Structure 1
Amino acid sequence: MAIPTLFVFLLLLTSAMAEIKTLQITSDPRPIILFEKFGFTNGGSVSITLSSTSVSAPSSLDPSLLGFFLLSDDNLLQAIYQSEQQQNPNPNPSCILSSPYVRPLFTFRDLSPSSSFNRTFPVDLPDEYSLYFANCAPASSATSVSMSVRTEMYNLRPDGTRDYLSVGQAPVPTVYASFALLYVLFLAAWAYLGLLKNRLSAHRIHYLMAALLLTKVLNLVFAAEDQHYIRATGTPHGWDVLFYLFQFLRGVLLFTVIVLIGTGWSFLKPFLQDREKKILMLVIPLQVVANLASVVIGETGPFIRDWVTWNQVFLLIDIVCCCAILFPIVWSIRSLRETSKTDGKAARNLAKLTLFRQFYIAVVGYLYLTRIVVYALRTIAAYRYRWVSVLAEEAVSLGFYLFMFYMFRPVERNEYFVIDDDEEEAAEAALREDEFEL
């Protein structure tokens, strides 16, 4: 793959964190390898340690054609343009390490006799930089590199201690902790007002919704702890295991609750039809695979060869799950429209139809905002304000949870079942008009 093409793809990547990492590269022929992306403040530094370095190449290869460099997002487009201009007319383009738009750190010419290297480089100009390795050897030489790489990228706090979170991620632990507290209050209110005071009106779905809130709380708590520990030490120290566990449980429960509400389970009927069971049997295994992809993406970083593939797998599975959970809601809307023509309960069916329609719009809005708008915000926001995308995602999620839990709360006079008789005539006319709508 040509270097400009690689740069175009890497331009679209946004890295969530940059803790201390030890990476093993084995017989890798790629011309460009992205290791980390990090937002620096004044006094930030990047430390690189190489060991067990070996190059499979002709003996005449110039070692200065292989090395590490930093590249800011501001200079990335210029570097892409320059590389394209050099490659198109010139069969022997110059190395990206000599570009005026990059900051070279060191080349393999600087390695010690034991093929190792250890140095810390200060970053004097605050910006967001990506750490790359460049292999500028001619493609015909089939040069591949093996090495063990340890990277540390950090900023300095006013007290002189290291902050291993990118400047745009530094407020994230506080954001997660704040929303965890809000969800604790949410769960307490749901348990007291919904399940305790209205326990006679509570259905099985309401207890499942309480379990969803609990997993959301635990997911946020361990996410906050994970990010805080990384910020202080540079390593997750096992907190990420619990974070991924409760992220998986929260994802499975959220999609399950949406499917069950969309089918009317526990509200309107005590069982699921075969097609609805198939949706659940599709969504749950896909969530397992999606979380496996999430772990690979989060724990390995972009340096592995299949990192792009895992990103595509995660995106594809997420889209499939989002589409799958909409089908039960559409089926319920169609079923209610058909039933309203024969059972003579026009007002009741109109209320149910309106409720499911509102729920459908809310689910679509939630998926659109969290999958598209939040991603766009994360991409276009200045590197110092990447945490705003996390805040926006959690705010949208909280708003959706509040809407869903309020609509399907346990109450004595449920709008599913209690309709005044004098509403029937108006409802019949509304249902006739509704046949021409969604």
Structure 2
Amino acid sequence: MVLVGCCAARIHKLTLKNERRSVIHLNSFGFYANGTLDVNMKNLTLTGETMDFEEQPIGFSLSKSRVGGVMSYTAEEFDACVLTKPSGTEPLVLFLIHFKDSSVQVKRYGDQKNVITGRTKTPALKDATVKSVDQPKQDDVPASQPKQVANKVGDQSKAGENATRVEKGRSQDGDLILVLQKINNSYNFSFQIKIVSQSEEGLYNLNFHHCFSKLPDKENSFSIDIEITERNPGGFLSAAEMPLPLLYISMSGFFFAAALLWVHVLVKHRFNVFKIHWLMAALAFTKSISLIFHSINYHFINTEGHPIEGWAVMYYITHLLKGALLFITLALIGTGWAFVKYILSDKEKKIFMIVIPLQVLANVAYIIIESTEEGTSEYALWKEILFLVDLICCGAILFPVVWSIRHLQEASSTDGKAVMNLAKLKLFRHYYVMIVCYIYFTRIIAILLKVTVPFQWQWFYELMVEVSTLVFFVLTGYKFRPASNNPYLQLPLDEEDVEMDEV
């Protein structure tokens, strides 16, 4: 199976070749009132027996999520094809492709007022009727009658034509019928949906269903090109993403201010500064720059419908550097490098040999996810890889801290410097708790928050992650600041110094 995904942010272009999946999630988007969804299906080609395509349905579904996109109205329908749904009260729109009569039947479920438009046709039904409006012919109007009467007749004629045009695009059941074009054994059609009121606002999921792939012992597949354009009144961003440009640029300012404050502390206490302190400063500045490019990236997505390649590349580079610096800095602090010792043990070196390549893989996975359409199978694969690698890295950086705690526990009872070692032990325990809380909050709590809040408040997840990261940076800097009274930075005393103190 060959899949090609071209992600242009909120103007999506997806190409699938020799696809066999029964359900393809194309996209999720939060719509406000007057938002629009344009879908253009091109070059749908089918392989397999013709009878299979006539008996088994194929088409699109547009469902509205209950809360935060966790469970959509069609979630329970994935095992049985949702296109065969007989009835329902939940808001759902189905686009059923009928190859025999070259039409697309639009079926609505639940109470919804969204406007659906597209190129309609007269359904091929034997007892389909077309309503007409009784009206006098314009030729029958005497010339002596006033001009207003003739205009009235013309208006009635136009009204009758409009009524006939509407009826021609509907079936006996009142379903809208769209035209399915066939060109050289490929099928094309398009439709537009407009969110007409605040009651219809929400997070919508667009899926493509290939139900006949569920038939046993059938070699059926399809190829398709899909173009999707989503808009809100304020731009191309989803409702949950519209506050993100301002959020990222604001948080960039906070991180930059924290970095400047940290540099001021380093200059003020330069006699107690180690190399890792400057590494921490570089991390804070890199994080700030990364957020600036992230904000610019979303700004262009909102205004143009797609990111500007140059700005996107700069964001990916700074994001990769930020991720690598973060885990390297945390691991070095955990091992006590540069503060107490300048040589890492073989066990600690192995941690870096694991974490650094995994961080590169995690950032590659993130970049692929950002530049790949949701409908491709690659998207789901790399999303799982990113989640797994991220958890492994988070768990790996805890080991150096645990080893340092164990070493201090053993040293506190053997080398005669119990007071100093116990102070360091307490600091390391606090640091361990900080890392665990940071990982737990950003990877679990924030995600649970995202899937429980209303669709327009899902940006709150990003706010919680950035604020918790800022707090974690500030607390780490405070605990390991370059100060003479910091127990972490106090070098072990010689035995002669201890004897002099006793004298």
| TM-score bracket for the superposition, by shorter chain length | 0.7 to 0.9
What's the counterpart of residue 126 of structure 1? 201
Larger radius of gyration: 2
Alignment partner of 2:29: what SS?
Answer: strand
What's the counterpart of residue 210 of structure 2? 135
**Displacement of 1:367 after TM fit?**
0.5
Q: Within the alignment, does 1:113 sit opposite 2:182 as a pair? A: yes
Q: Within the alignment, does 1:149 sit opposite 2:226 as a pair? A: yes
TM-score by length of 2: 0.73
Q: Within the alignment, does 1:242 sit opposite 2:314 as a pair? A: yes
**Displacement of 1:223 after TM fit?**
0.9
Q: 2:291 aligns with which of 220, 245, 257?
A: 220
Q: Within the alignment, does 1:30 sit opposite 2:21 as a pair? A: yes
Alignment partner of 2:94: what SS?
Answer: strand
What's the counterpart of residue 282 of structure 1? 354
Identical-pair percentage: 33
Alignment partner of 1:306: what SS?
Answer: helix
**Aligned partner letter, 1:35:** L
Map 1:333-352; keep pairs closer than 5 Å.
333-352=405-424
What's the counterpart of residue 93 of structure 2? 103
What's the counterpart of residue 312 of structure 1? 384
Structure 1 residue ranges without an equivalent (≥5): 1-16, 88-92, 158-162, 425-438
Query: 2:28 touches 2:206 (CA, 8 Å); kept in 1?
Result: yes
Alpha-carbon deviations, 1:210-262, whole Å to 9, x = none? 11111101111111111111111111112322222221111111111111001
Aligned counterparts of 2:434 and 2:188: Cα–Cα separation in 1: 56
**More divergent stretch after superposition (247-256 vs 47-56):** 47-56
Alpha-carbon deviations, 1:138-182, whole Å to 9, x = none? 62443322111111111113xxxxx11111111111111110000
**Aligned partner letter, 1:68:** F
Aligned counterparts of 1:177 and 1:144: Cα–Cα separation in 2: 46
Greater relative contact order: 1 or 2 (C-alpha under 8 angstroms, separation 6 or more)? 2
Q: 1:192 aligns with which of 253, 261, 264?
A: 264
What's the counterpart of residue 435 of structure 1? none
Map 1:200-215; keep pairs closer than 5 Å.
200-215=271-286
What's the counterpart of residue 363 of structure 1? 435
Select the structure that is richer in helix. Answer: 1
Aligned counterparts of 2:417 and 2:82: Cα–Cα separation in 1: 77
**Displacement of 1:301 after TM fit?**
3.0
**Displacement of 1:365 after TM fit?**
0.6
Aligned counterparts of 1:98 and 1:151: Cα–Cα separation in 2: 28
RMSD over aligned Cα atoms: 2.4
**More divergent stretch after superposition (254-263 vs 112-121):** 112-121
Query: 2:20 touches 2:220 (CA, 8 Å); kept in 1?
Result: yes
What's the counterpart of residue 64 of structure 2? 72
The alpha-carbon distance between structure 1 residues 183 and 63, as it changes in their structure 2 partners (threshold 3 A), is farther
Q: Within the alignment, does 1:322 sit opposite 2:394 as a pair? A: yes
Alpha-carbon deviations, 1:262-311, whole Å to 9, x = none? 11111111121111111011100001111111122222132112333222
Aligned counterparts of 1:271 and 1:99: Cα–Cα separation in 2: 70
Alpha-carbon deviations, 1:74-110, whole Å to 9, x = none? 39565344666xx5xxxxx773476544212463633
Query: 2:72 touches 2:205 (CA, 8 Å); kept in 1?
Result: no
Alignment partner of 2:230: what SS?
Answer: strand
What's the counterpart of residue 251 of structure 2? 179
Structure 2 residue ranges without an equivalent (≥5): 1-7, 104-178, 499-503
**Aligned partner letter, 2:33:** N
The alpha-carbon distance between structure 1 residues 245 and 98, as it changes in their structure 2 partners (threshold 3 A), is farther
Query: 1:97 touches 1:134 (CA, 8 Å); kept in 2?
Result: no
What's the counterpart of residue 392 of structure 1? 464
Query: 1:18 touches 1:38 (CA, 8 Å); kept in 2?
Result: no
Aligned counterparts of 2:406 and 2:485: Cα–Cα separation in 1: 25
Alignment partner of 1:300: what SS?
Answer: coil
Map 1:242-281; keep pairs closer than 5 Å.
242-281=314-353
The alpha-carbon distance between structure 1 residues 98 and 329, as it changes in their structure 2 partners (threshold 3 A), is same
**Aligned partner letter, 1:207:** W
